Amino acid sequence: MDLRTLDTYFPEGTVLRVDDVSVNLDPQRLHKFLQVAKSKYPLIQILLAVSPMVFNMPKWEPKNQDKHERVFPAILNAKSDHRVYFEIEKIGIPDWLEGIVSEFDCTLATHGLIHVDHRLLSRDLQEMSIITSASLANTKIFVPPFNKYNSDTVSICKEQNIKLVRWEDGWTHLGFHSFQDNGNKYYVHLHDHPGEKLISLL
Predicted confidence (pLDDT) per residue in 39-74, tens digit: 999 999 999 999 999 999 999 999 999 999 999 999
Q: What's the chain's Rg over C-alpha atoms?
A: 16
pLDDT at 2: 38
pLDDT band at 196 (very low <50, low <70, confident <90, very high): confident
**How large is the average pLDDT for residues 102-114?**
98
Cβ pair 112, 133 in contact under 8 A: yes
Q: Positive or negative, the Cα torsion across 14, 24, 146, 189?
A: positive
Quote the CA–CA distance of 25 and 41 in Å, as a whole number. 23
What is the pLDDT at residue 4? Answer: 44
What is residue 142's three-state secondary structure?
strand
| Interval 89-95 mean pLDDT | 97
Return the bridge partners of 110, or none: 50, 142
Residue 6 has pLDDT above 60, yes or no: no
